[in-house]
């Protein structure tokens, strides 16, 4: 088993005005493993993900991919770096002006300069991998249901065979069955590509299914991290409260959203 670290965050901080969203995130993900970050809304999950993707510039700290510093990389080098990434957005973020197959093939046509016919073949193959027939290829995203849009978005994320795939709340807004289908697809696709996965979610069923490792984020810091099998006996009261979804506990005791008699 390779223990090579694919992605490493060291002391990453980010503030928006007076609000300190990230207060020193430390995290490392071994190559070929799937890390799931769990945590409540507004704890900095999405910002962490966007910092790694380079969509947000962190205030300090470093983000290493294959041991290479990526903070502050811009221009051509950033485009080159992005080619290693695949991303499944929360809302799908499909381009509504393009048909499904062009959405899936977008990274191939524009990023990898592949010919249109070849890219279309790859797109249809990837659509099949997520359980969609070739009839879907010429539809527009607006004509698809939420679950199908998620599948297309997943197909787009894996189309360029990226080394690292990011999943932003992959099951939000789906019914429990479709959520499980997407979870299975994520596990399958990541395993097949041998890619490293980084997901953020607050859906515990999803986290248990797709994670090799779990990290819990709270108030801009990683407060617990470990293999998914240790999740139930983490010995951390914050993690216990979160995974059991209790309204009372250390997370809500200090936060403003604590349950008070109105």
For residue 73, state whether it binds other proteins (rule: CB under 8 A): no
For residue 54, state whether it binds other proteins (rule: CB under 8 A): yes
Of 59-67, 77-85, 193-201, 251-259, the segment contacting other proteins by CB under 8 A is: 77-85
Nearest CA-CA partner of 11 in 185, 220, 252: 220
Pair of tokens at residue 120: 């279309």
- Using CB under 8 A, which of 4, 16, 77, 79 touches other proteins? 79
Query: Are 70 and 64 contacting, i.e. CB atoms less than 8 angstroms apart?
Result: yes
C-beta atoms surrounding 199 within 10 Å: 28
DSSP string, 56-81: S--SEEEEEETTEE-TT--HHHHHHH
Q: Which of residues 91-150 bind other proteins (CB under 8 A)?
A: 91, 93-96, 106-107, 110-111
- What is the end-to-end Cα distance of the chain in Å, rounded? 54
Identify which of residues 40 and 141 has a Cβ nearer to other proteins in the complex.
141
For residue 83, state whether it binds other proteins (rule: CB under 8 A): yes
For residue 44, state whether it binds other proteins (rule: CB under 8 A): no
For residue 86, state whether it binds other proteins (rule: CB under 8 A): yes
Q: Could you give the CA distance from residue 199 to residue 165 in angstroms, rounded to a whole number?
A: 8
Site residues (vs other proteins, CB under 8 A): 50, 53-55, 79-80, 82-83, 85-87, 89-91, 93-96, 106-107, 110-111, 156, 160, 166
């Amino acid at each position: 088993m390779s223990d090579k670290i694919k992605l490493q965050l060291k002391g990453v901080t980010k503030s928006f005005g007076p609000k300190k969203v990230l207060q020193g995130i430390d995290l490392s993900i071994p190559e070929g493993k799937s890390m799931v970050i769990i945590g409540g809304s507004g704890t900095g999950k999405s910002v962490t993900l966007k910092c790694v993707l380079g969509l947000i510039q962190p205030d300090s700290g470093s983000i290493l991919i294959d041991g290479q510093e990526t903070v502050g990389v811009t221009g051509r080098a950033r485009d080159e770096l992005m080619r290693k990434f695949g991303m499944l957005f929360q809302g799908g973020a499909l381009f509504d002006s393009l048909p499904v197959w062009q959405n899936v093939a977008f990274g191939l046509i524009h990023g990898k300069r592949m010919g249109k016919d070849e890219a279309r073949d790859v797109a249809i193959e990837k659509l099949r991998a997520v359980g969609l027939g070739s009839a879907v290829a010429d539809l527009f995203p607006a004509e698809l249901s939420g679950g199908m849009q998620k599948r297309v978005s997943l197909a787009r994320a894996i189309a360029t065979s990226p080394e690292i795939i990011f999943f932003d709340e992959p099951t939000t807004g789906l019914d429990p069955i479709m959520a499980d289908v997407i979870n299975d697809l994520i596990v399958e696709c990541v395993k097949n590509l041998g890619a490293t996965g980084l997901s953020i979610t607050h859906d515990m069923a999803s986290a248990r299914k797709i994670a090799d490792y779990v990290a819990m984020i709270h108030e801009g810091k990683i407060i617990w991290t470990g293999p998914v099998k240790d999740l139930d006996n983490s010995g951390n009261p914050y993690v216990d409260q979160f995974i059991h979804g209790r309204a009372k506990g250390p997370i809500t005791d200090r936060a403003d959203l604590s349950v008070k008699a109105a």
